[in-house]
Amino acid sequence: MNAFIDFITGPMVWISFLIFFAGVFIRVFRLAQEANSKEKFMFSYFSWKYSLRSIFAWLVPFLPASTRQSPVFWGISYLFHLLLFMVPIFLLSHIVLLEESLGWSWISLNDSIADVLTVLVILALVFFAVRRLNVPEVKFLTRSSDYLFILIVALPFLTGFLAYHQFFFYRTMVIIHILTGELMLILIPFTRFFHMFLAPISRAYTGSEFGNVRQARDW
Amino acid sequence: MQDSTIENKDSVKTDVIDEAVERGLERLTPERIAGVINQVLAKETGARFKTYIDTCMRCGLCADACSFFLSNDRDPKFSPAAKVKQTLTEMLEKRGNVSKDFLKNMVRIAHTECNVCKRCSMYCPFGIDIAYMMLTVRRICHKLEITPLYIQDTVNSHSATMNQMWVKEDEWIDTLQWQEEDAREEFEDLRIPLDKDGADIMYSVIAPEPKFQAGLIYQTAVIMHAAGVNWTMPSNPGWDNSNMAMFTGDFEISGRLAKAHYEAAADLHVNRIVMGECGHAFRSVYDVGNRWAGWRMPPIELVHAIDFFHELLTTGRIKVKEKYKKSVTLHDPCNVSRGRGLHDKAREVVNLLCDNFIEMTPNKEHNFCCGAGGGVINCGPPYKTTRMINNRVKKEQLEQTGAEVLIAPCHNCHSGLEDITHHYGVDMEIKFFGDIIYEVMEKTIYQGGV
Amino acid sequence: MKTKLLLIIMGFILLLGAIGAYSQDEEIVVMDTSAFENTQRPASVFDHDIHNEMAGLEDDCAICHHVYDGKTLVEGESSEDSYCADCHSLSKTAENDVPLRAAYHKRCKSCHFETNKGPVLCGECHKN
């Protein structure tokens, strides 16, 4: 069993990152290639100034009108996305593993704080699921894959939480935690998790068109 | 009570019979349907389309942006993303193998349940341009020849005459001369200069003006004359800046129209084009048709009436005798506010002309469409009732202002808002900026030198 | 139905926790962590003699109590008389590029992975 754990905490991590980076690169490259061959005009409207203006405007909580219209969703969404990256990156256990393998380390979250933040991430996901089930306009758009996405994101956090507290089936919990974490990373370039990269791109283009051509704000 | 009204609305909507759509559907075979859909989706769309399809997380935030969704008691079918789901998503998943019933719904959704106003791009966290998606659906409708009758007739007119309303060349010139003659009662040497080579400004209008709103040309002539502007209008095709083809997905004709417009201006060697109070026409020559014709931005400076009036008023070329007394509110036309950021200037113009200005909310870039835009009103009488139901929010917005006069610096908005005020019994007079300027201006000729 | 199931699961979790709490040995031997500041996890469970007996390491002290000269291992010498922390400072320095925390983790885990025996996951040593 230790050999298996050695594999999933060692080579598998690199394989996952490799697939992730290669997948992201290939997709973005193909996208740019297609834009270049069929919609070259888009590059002539693209503007760094207005792209960044739009992206930053949308990063400021409650600046865009949409965020003020749905403050609960947006509050939770902003927090969720922040924690989704912050908790795993600044988690002590993760940093310890990195320190052992590469000798890198950086500032870490206090474990008990990370614990609370993990619960917040899980609660946010529960909120998203409940919202999909209950808000008519969201329900109408929702497909079963949307719940699957929520589950895939929830699993590493949930198993991480359970493993940290060592409630039961410790080994199994950690193994599921590691595998689902890697699964999520691998899936990013091939699923709608890719909005992580596409969202800034489409925001940038809309921001460029609004700022450059229409001379209006887009938030 | 609630249920019965919703039922009624649905029955009103399904009862609509559009002959062009019906006949068009009869002609279609499954092979042709799939062929056209796949051609457009595979060949005419690219990275942008794919990105929009793949990025949408179905969060539903676009719903609250849409006047159709809000006017229909938050019916989930009307959210912008739902319109994509009911049209493009299904076509993509079925690889174009869709039924005629599906197509019938698709025409209704894309042509009459979306004003392509782009308000949802401002509520989508990713800025997904659903207007572009709906225009892609309309492109498919166009290629399947199931475009609604009335708007298709308009496009046919564009195609045959280069103007929107089958206005013949002699009719056009005749109308201008008739308005010139009438206006000479106010200024004895007033001219509507036709084809004046090297004039400073070419003034362009949409075809409904000569067709049945010639008084607007009269007013403009008076304003131009009083302001001492060196202007002209072309006698040849190209004088009409309107463009319904851009809303039916007939991009070829749409591009031809914009090209003809700019070529008319180039032939006259003018410095800039000033256009009348119209929104979609501005979008056509400023943002859409020019691109098809190969110009990144307008090849000749293009000025919307709001901008131009602002200039005349702030430079003193037009002087206000006495400010307008009635309480006014302003409707921001999508295509010049969200489409060109002229909302602040529009407010300055209102305040230069009127004493009592009441804001309508939401406004500026966040305005609601009049419900007529994006070619929806041009789909004609069969869809009028649904159009009224579909823009209840505008009526509520209008009522909240309590203003006596509504300024709408756009032709489409004018017609759409007139329908709304009549349908819902809102007591409000609708005016163009031109109407108000004509009323309050000093009728003397500017002497500052040209 | 769903709430019932949830209650049963929650009861099960509580029961497991309780069993864990009561079954703990009173004489658990743990690592001396006095060299660390702000420890976040419980000290590792480690009984020196039992560990070595089970691992068959009675005569091979230098595996853990090694001596390094710079980056090279000094063969045949051992360091039972000193603490890990004597050489492995808390953070990297010129003399030591394996910080104390990493030294512990690497020392234990590398053997456990090699021999495919013993604890390798956080909570298997740092027991709550």
Give me the residues paired with residue C69 across strands: C72
Range of the domain at C100: 27-125
- CATH number of A152's domain: 1.20.950
A168 touches chain C (CB under 8 A): yes
DSSP assignment of C48-116 equals HHHHHHHHT-TT-GGGTS--EETTEE-TT---TTS-HHHHS-SS--SS--S-HHHHHHHHHHHHHHHHT
B350 inside domain: yes
Asked if residues B147 and B141 have their Cβ atoms less than 8 Å apart, the reply is yes
Q: Which of B58, B79, B303, B340 to mutate to test the interface with A (most CBs of A within 10 A)?
A: B58
- In this prediction, residue B2 carries a pLDDT of 43
**Residues from chain B contacting residue A198 (CB–CB below 8 Å):** 51, 54-55, 126
Asked if residues B289 and B243 have their Cβ atoms less than 8 Å apart, the reply is yes
Q: Is B358 helix (H, G, I), strand (E, B) or coil?
A: strand
% of chain B beyond a pLDDT of 70: 96
Number of independent structural domains in chain A: 1
- Name residues whose C-beta falls within 8 Å of residue A121's C-beta, 6 or more positions apart in sequence: A80, A83, A84, A87, A157
Of B57, B60, B286, the CB nearest to A192: B57
| CB pair distance less than 8 Å for A203 and B51 | no
Report the 3 state secondary structure along B125-152: CCCCCHHHHHHHHHHHHHHHCCCCHHHH
CA distance A38 to chain B (A): 6
A31 touches chain B (CB under 8 A): yes
Q: How far apart are CA C128 and CA C126, in angstroms?
A: 6
Eight-state DSSP code of residue B30: H
**Residues from chain A contacting residue B296 (CB–CB below 8 Å):** 41, 44-45
CA neighbor of B430 nearest in space, from B445, B409, B447: B409
- Distance (Å) of CA B3 to CA A139, A181, B72, B113, B385: 20, 47, 12, 21, 19
| CB pair distance less than 8 Å for B82 and A141 | yes
Q: How far apart are CA B413 and CA B434, in angstroms?
A: 15
Sign, CA torsion A143/A149/A155/A161: negative
For A33-37, what is the mean pLDDT?
95
**Residues from chain A contacting residue C101 (CB–CB below 8 Å):** 96, 99
Q: Which two tokens stand for residue B364?
A: 């500026």
Q: Which two tokens stand for residue B69?
A: 């969704």
Of B50, B69, B126, the CB nearest to A199: B126
Q: Cite the DSSP H helix spans in B227-294.
A: 245-248, 251-267, 280-283, 289-292
For A143-158, what is the mean pLDDT?
97
Q: Is the pLDDT of residue B226 over 80?
A: yes
C79 inside domain: yes
| CB pair distance less than 8 Å for C40 and A111 | yes
Per-position pLDDT tens, chain C of length 128 = 556 665 666 565 655 555 555 555 556 788 888 888 888 999 999 999 899 998 888 788 888 999 988 888 888 888 888 889 988 998 888 888 889 999 999 999 999 999 999 999 999 999 88
- In this prediction, residue C26 carries a pLDDT of 53
Would you tell me which residues 74-113 of chain A have a C-beta closer than 8 angstroms to some C-beta of chain B? none
B36 inside domain: yes
C111 inside domain: yes
C100 inside domain: yes
Distance between the two ends of chain B, CA-based, in angstroms? 65
A189 inside domain: yes
- Whether the upstream peptide bond of residue B362 has omega within 30° of 0, thus cis, is yes
- In this prediction, residue B257 carries a pLDDT of 96
Give me the residues paired with residue B324 across strands: B354
- Distance (Å) of CA A211 to CA A4, A51, A203: 53, 8, 12
Residues B405 and B372 in one domain: yes
- CATH number of C36's domain: 3.90.10.10
Residues B334 and B426 in one domain: yes
Residues B83 and B107 in one domain: yes
Q: How far apart are CA B355 and CA B436, in angstroms?
A: 12
Q: Which two tokens stand for residue B284?
A: 């056509």
- In this prediction, residue B4 carries a pLDDT of 42
- In this prediction, residue C103 carries a pLDDT of 92
Burial of A35 by CB count in 10 Å (0-12 exposed, 13-18 middle, 19+ buried)? buried
**Residues from chain B contacting residue A69 (CB–CB below 8 Å):** 64, 123
**What is the complex's ipTM, to 2 decimals?**
0.94
Confidence of residue B393 (pLDDT cuts 50, 70, 90): very high
- In this prediction, residue A163 carries a pLDDT of 96
- In this prediction, residue C17 carries a pLDDT of 54
Residues B171 and B286 in one domain: yes
Residues B194 and B243 in one domain: yes
- CATH number of B50's domain: 1.10.1060
Residues B162 and B184 in one domain: yes
Q: How far apart are CA B96 and CA A61, in angstroms?
A: 41
Phi, psi of B337 (to 5 degrees): -95, -70
CA neighbor of B391 nearest in space, from B115, B118, B129, B121: B115
Q: How far apart are CA C59 and CA C81, in angstroms?
A: 15
| CB pair distance less than 8 Å for B341 and A214 | yes
C61 inside domain: yes
Confidence of residue B11 (pLDDT cuts 50, 70, 90): low
For B164-186, what is the mean pLDDT?
95
For B331-343, what is the mean pLDDT?
97
Confidence of residue B342 (pLDDT cuts 50, 70, 90): very high
Number of independent structural domains in chain C: 1
Of A6, A164, A165, the CB nearest to C113: A6
> Which residue of chain A is at minimal alpha-carbon distance from C108?
A100
Distance between the two ends of chain C, CA-based, in angstroms? 33
For B81-105, what is the mean pLDDT?
97
Q: Is the pLDDT of residue A15 over 50?
A: yes
Phi, psi of A36 (to 5 degrees): -65, -35
Range of the domain at B250: 158-313
CA neighbor of B379 nearest in space, from B109, B118, B132: B109
B53 touches chain A (CB under 8 A): no
Chain center to CA of B215: 20
| CB pair distance less than 8 Å for A64 and B127 | no
| CB pair distance less than 8 Å for C120 and A96 | no
State which of B268, B288, B313 marks the end of a domain: B313
| Touch of A by B (3+ CB pairs closer than 8 Å) | yes
| CB pair distance less than 8 Å for C16 and A167 | yes
Residues B90 and B194 in one domain: no
- In this prediction, residue B9 carries a pLDDT of 54
CA distance C40 to chain A (A): 7
Q: What are the residues of chain C with a beta carbon less than 8 Å away from any beta carbon of chain A?
A: 13, 16-17, 20, 40-41, 92, 97, 99, 101-102, 105-106, 109, 112-113, 115-118, 120-124, 127-128
**Residues from chain A contacting residue B362 (CB–CB below 8 Å):** 65
**Residues from chain B contacting residue A194 (CB–CB below 8 Å):** 54-55
Would you tell me which residues 29-88 of chain A have a C-beta closer than 8 angstroms to some C-beta of chain C? none
Range of the domain at A125: 2-29+48-212
| CB pair distance less than 8 Å for C106 and A100 | yes
Eight-state DSSP code of residue A106: -
Q: Is the pLDDT of residue A215 over 60?
A: yes
